[in-house]
Amino acid sequence: MLIRVDPARPDSLQDQVAAAVRRGIAEGQVTAGDRLPPARELAQSLDVSIHTVLAGYQKLRDEGLIELRRGRGAVVRAGAHAGRTGVAELVRGLVVEARRHGIGDDELVELVRTAL
Amino acid sequence: MSARVRRILRAAVPPVVAAVPAVVVLVRGWSRLPETVASHFTLDGAVDGTSGRVVLVVLAVGAPLLLALVFGGIASAPAARRGRFDSTRAMTSTSWATGTLVGGLALLVVLANLDAVDPRAVVLSGPGVLGVLAATLGAGLLGWWLTPASPLLPVDAGSAPVLHLGETERASWTGRSHSRMLAAMGALMVPVGLVIGLLLTWVAGATLLAAGLLLVWSCVVTVTVDRAGLTVGWGPFGLPLVRVPLADVAEAHVEDVVPLGYGGWGLRLQPGTVAVVLRAGPGLVVTRRSGRTLVVTVDGAETGAGLLNGLRDRAC
């Protein structure tokens, strides 16, 4: 799986790590049961702090895309199919766009709720 | 009959055919064999080890079947060669020779033990041993002669993608490949090793067991491409096996790897080339500045090669 991050981009490095993994899942570069690179090795490889990678992985865990287990590392979950990953990616784009237009977080949640 | 079936039969049948005389004599003479038989001999034909009668069955039936299985399995892979060395031909020839040697020696050992009163006094026939050695040589040459030469692979048919990177961008690519063949062979060797170790000799059993576990361990490699260059990690924990620093990368491309073109599976050292071959199919080929190459089979090799070329371009 290819992970590209760029400190010159406006979004945080941890978000970029999470986005790269999401893309990897969506494109089928990694599938359910596959192990992601260990956080320590990926951090070393990308020349970023291990906390950055862990924060990115935790974000993916909260989205239900991966499992984090002590000793086993990060593993792609069975439910993490392309469709769900695509929606997660769209939501992330929505948040970025909302913030760019000065829409507050609570206001955005409200907007989403009215659309449901 | 397809070329593949012919290749498999050519490699797997000779050990079985060579075992027929020993099996016939063993079956017809079973009641004439003592409970304890001479099973191990010194170079001048004197006995230095005895076992139960069942060891003759292992020698005459088990060993040839194992040879047929292993050589037939290897021969099921496509035949190909890169230079003058022809793995498929050499492997088939080895099967003919080894099969003849095992079958011939089994026959001599069974014959020597017929009607033996004291297994310690059994003597292996000297002219018999010479005859078996001559037949082994002859079978090896015949096997070579009867096997058609493997097709020569084109020298360079690979594509070389380039993934362009931004000035401040950082990238890391991880790919894996695993071998069902190595895993299956290892998994087969573990129980066989246990059985041989418990029933016959523990040295051979422990060796087979250790080799089996090593094979199972080795059935996966991880390839990483990043600012440091390319690293091949071995086994489930990715212990560094081979490394090409970024400054040493001249070019990376993708090749459709045919295992026997590199002499088979595993870590293959050939003149000017180091190959880590776990399966047939896409492999990443890195040419070093010195002109030497590293080949490693890996899923998604194209992305890895592209990133390596992109990193090299940016570093220049």
Q: What is the pTM of this model?
A: 0.69
B189-239 residue pLDDT tens: 888 888 777 766 778 888 888 988 988 888 889 999 999 999 999 888 888
* Confidence band of B174 (pLDDT split at 50, 70, 90): very high
Contact: A29, B300; criterion CB under 8 Å = yes
Q: List helix spans (H) across chain A.
A: 13-26, 39-46, 50-62, 82-100, 105-115
Look up the ipTM and state it: 0.74
Topology classification of domain A13-115 = Arc Repressor Mutant, subunit A (1.10.10)
Interface of B with A in 1-60 (CB under 8 A): none
Q: Alpha-carbon torsion B297, B299, B301, B306, what sign?
A: negative
Average pLDDT, rounded, for chain B: 87
A3 touches chain B (CB under 8 A): yes
| DSSP helix/strand/coil, B250 | strand
Nearest CA in chain B to A5: B170
Contact: B166, A29; criterion CB under 8 Å = no
- Count of CB atoms situated within 10 Å of the CB of B90: 18
Domain boundaries, chain A: 13-115
* Confidence band of B74 (pLDDT split at 50, 70, 90): confident
Tell me what percent of the residues of chain A surpass a pLDDT of 90. 39
Nearest alpha-carbon partner for A36 in A58, A51, A63: A58
B33-44 residue pLDDT tens: 888 888 877 777
Average pLDDT, integer, range B159-171: 87
Distance, CA of B237 to CA of B220 (rounded, Å):
10
Nearest CA in chain A to B175: A1
pLDDT at B178 over 60: yes
* Confidence band of B155 (pLDDT split at 50, 70, 90): low
| Cβ-count burial B195-220 (b if 16+ within 10 Å, e if not) | ebbeebeeeebeebbeebeebbbbbb
Contact: B170, A1; criterion CB under 8 Å = no
pLDDT at B72 over 70: yes
Contact: A4, B171; criterion CB under 8 Å = yes
Which residues are CB-contacts of A78 (< 8 A; sequence separation ≥ 6)?
A: A32, A33
**A93 φ/ψ angles, rounded to the nearest 5 degrees:** -65, -40
Q: Give the number of beta-carbon pairs within 8 Å between A and B.
A: 50
Interface of B with A in 271-300 (CB under 8 A): 300
A80-113 residue pLDDT tens: 666 667 777 788 888 888 888 888 888 888 888 8
- Count of CB atoms situated within 10 Å of the CB of B11: 28
B228: chain A residues, CB-CB within 8 Å: 45
Model pLDDT, residue A82: 64
Distance, CA of A75 to CA of A65 (rounded, Å):
9
B251-291 residue pLDDT tens: 999 988 888 888 888 888 888 899 999 988 889 999 999 99
